[in-house]
């Protein structure tokens, strides 16, 4: 049972002030303002769980800027976690990997208070249908909801985002994505909505395979089906304005040298094996210091899971009526 004061929705996001994609901070604040305005206009009860993962030294924290830039954000409805950058180095199994995005998201999922948890990205605008469903609370427990991502052209002026601009098909960069059952994959990390209880039962995203960032979201879908949950299309899109550095625009940027990609080698068997995260998933044992409204997860080796924990890589469970996992694809 959720606590009486718990919100209906926890929106989990992660980011840091590292100029990812050129103007990360502007894009993030702009998107956050839009989404919070729309949630508030519909009276949706929500909290924001933001994980500022391994912020670069010398640059101001996003936490120190966000309240001035996003007046819609209320500290009472916001849980902000700043994670010591030592965790990135201690946890990574790939020196090229710059950001353990899904481990960061697990921190937010683990500490979410909402009945439902929506994991998304900082530059994803929620669509009208998504907002309506959240407002009506028309969600089932045990169903993971997915939304297709509509990419808007690079040339679209992000400073004047409104419904007209978002919903104008002329602004789409290529054909709109369609989610295909049973996995409903494609840009999964941009929209994963599941009740908190189920999210906690499956223990979030894969924390065992810390070799790549790419495909960890897709791997969650294997885990979900293997756990007997279903995957459902929520019925409307989310929007993303293309930007430089986006994987979508340059998926073959590391062709022939995939192991050097800063998102990891995309050819790993993300649709194959499942996983069992340890009890301590989401850095549950990391010491926390409260300062100025934010929670700082300070570094402690005790909170770091072992580098290698191979028995936690498992074959997915075949469920009656559910599909078998992905086909084997030779890597080399």
Partner 1 sequence: MPGRDAPRVPSRSGEAGVDDPKTNWKAKAADAVARAKQFEEQARHEAKRAEKYRQAAERMEKRTASLEELVARLKVVERELAVAREHLMAVEVKLDILEGAANVLDLRTRIAIHETSETGASA
By the rule CB under 8 A, 316 interacts with partner 1? yes
- CA gap 187, 167 in Å, rounded: 19
Tell which one of 170, 310, 320, 321 touches partner 1 (CB under 8 A): 310
By the rule CB under 8 A, 263 interacts with partner 1? no
Q: What's the distance, CA 320 to chain centroid? A: 29
With beta carbons less than 8 A apart as the criterion, state whether 93 and 211 touch: yes
Tell which one of 113, 200, 269, 319 touches partner 1 (CB under 8 A): 269
With H, G, I as helix, E, B as strand and everything else as coil, classify residue 12: strand
- Judged by CB under 8 A, the stretch of 14-22, 46-54, 194-202, 309-317 that binds partner 1 is 309-317
Q: Residue 158 or residue 325: which is nearer to partner 1 going by CB?
A: 325
By the rule CB under 8 A, 61 interacts with partner 1? no
With beta carbons less than 8 A apart as the criterion, state whether 190 and 240 touch: yes
By the rule CB under 8 A, 325 interacts with partner 1? yes
Tell which one of 99, 209, 281, 296 touches partner 1 (CB under 8 A): 209
Which residues pair with residue 116 across a beta bridge?
9, 195
Distinct helix (H) and strand (E) counts, the chain: 8, 14
By the rule CB under 8 A, 314 interacts with partner 1? yes
Q: Residue 44 or residue 226: which is nearer to partner 1 going by CB?
A: 226
Q: Residue 88 or residue 121: which is nearer to partner 1 going by CB?
A: 88
With beta carbons less than 8 A apart as the criterion, state whether 125 and 32 touch: no
Pairing of strands 230-233, 143-146: parallel
Q: Residue 202 or residue 294: which is nearer to partner 1 going by CB?
A: 202
Query: Which residues, 189 to 208, sit near partner 1 by CB under 8 A?
Result: 208
By the rule CB under 8 A, 327 interacts with partner 1? yes
In three state form, how does the secondary structure of 47-78 look?
A: EEEEEEECCCCCCCCCHHHHHHHCCCCCHHHE
Measured from the CB of residue 330, what is the shortest distance to partner 1 in angstroms? 9
Helices 101-110 and 216-226 sit at what angle, rounded to 10 degrees? 50
Burial of 135 (0-12, 13-18, 19+ CB in 10 A): middle
Count of residues that bind partner 1 according to CB under 8 A:
25
By the rule CB under 8 A, 328 interacts with partner 1? yes
Q: What's the distance, CA 145 to chain centroid? A: 13
- For residue 77, give the nearest of 4, 8, 1 by alpha carbon: 8
Tell which one of 205, 268, 281, 296 touches partner 1 (CB under 8 A): 268
Tell which one of 61, 93, 173, 249 touches partner 1 (CB under 8 A): 93
By the rule CB under 8 A, 313 interacts with partner 1? yes
By the rule CB under 8 A, 256 interacts with partner 1? no
Q: Residue 170 or residue 328: which is nearer to partner 1 going by CB?
A: 328
| Location of structure tokens 């580098």 | 307
Give the DSSP per-residue string, 135-171.
Answer: HHT---TTEEEE-PEEEEPTTS-GGG--HHHHH-GGG
Tell which one of 92, 120, 188, 242 touches partner 1 (CB under 8 A): 92
Binding site for partner 1 (CB under 8 A): 92-95, 208-211, 265, 268-269, 272-273, 307-308, 310, 313-316, 324-325, 327-328, 331
């Amino acid at each position: 049972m959720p606590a009486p004061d718990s919100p209906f929705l926890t929106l989990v996001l992660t980011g840091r002030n590292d100029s990812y994609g050129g103007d990360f901070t502007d894009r993030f604040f702009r998107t956050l303002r839009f989404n919070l305005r729309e949630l508030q206009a519909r009276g949706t009860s929500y909290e924001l769980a933001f994980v500022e993962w391994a912020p670069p030294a010398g640059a101001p924290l996003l936490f120190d800027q966000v309240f001035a830039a996003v007046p819609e954000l209320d500290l009472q409805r916001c849980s902000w976690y700043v994670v010591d950058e030592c965790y990135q180095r201690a946890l990574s199994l790939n020196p090229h990997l710059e950001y353990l995005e899904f481990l960061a998201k697990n921190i937010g999922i683990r500490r979410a208070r909402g009945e439902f948890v929506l994991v998304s990205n900082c530059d994803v605008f929620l669509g009208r249908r998504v907002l309506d469903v959240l407002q009506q609370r028309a969600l089932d427990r045990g169903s993971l909801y997915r939304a297709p991502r509509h990419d808007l052209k690079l040339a679209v002026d992000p400073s004047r985002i409104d419904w007209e601009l978002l919903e104008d098909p002329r602004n789409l960069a290529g054909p709109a994505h369609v989610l295909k059952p049973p996995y409903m994959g494609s840009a999964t990390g941009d929209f994963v909505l599941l009740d908190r209880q189920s999210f906690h039962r499956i223990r979030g995203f894969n924390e065992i395979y810390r070799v790549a960032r790419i495909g960890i979201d897709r791997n969650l879908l294997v885990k979900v089906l293997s756990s007997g949950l279903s995957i459902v299309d929520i019925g409307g899109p989310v929007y993303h304005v293309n930007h430089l550095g986006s994987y979508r625009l340059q998926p073959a940027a590391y062709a022939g040298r995939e192991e050097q990609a800063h998102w990891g080698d995309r050819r790993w068997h993300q649709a194959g094996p499942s996983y069992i995260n340890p009890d301590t998933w989401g850095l549950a044992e990391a010491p926390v210091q409260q300062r100025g409204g934010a929670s700082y997860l300070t570094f402690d080796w005790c909170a770091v899971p072992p580098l290698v924990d191979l028995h936690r890589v498992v074959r997915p469970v075949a469920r009656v009526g559910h599909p078998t996992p992905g086909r084997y694809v030779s890597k080399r």
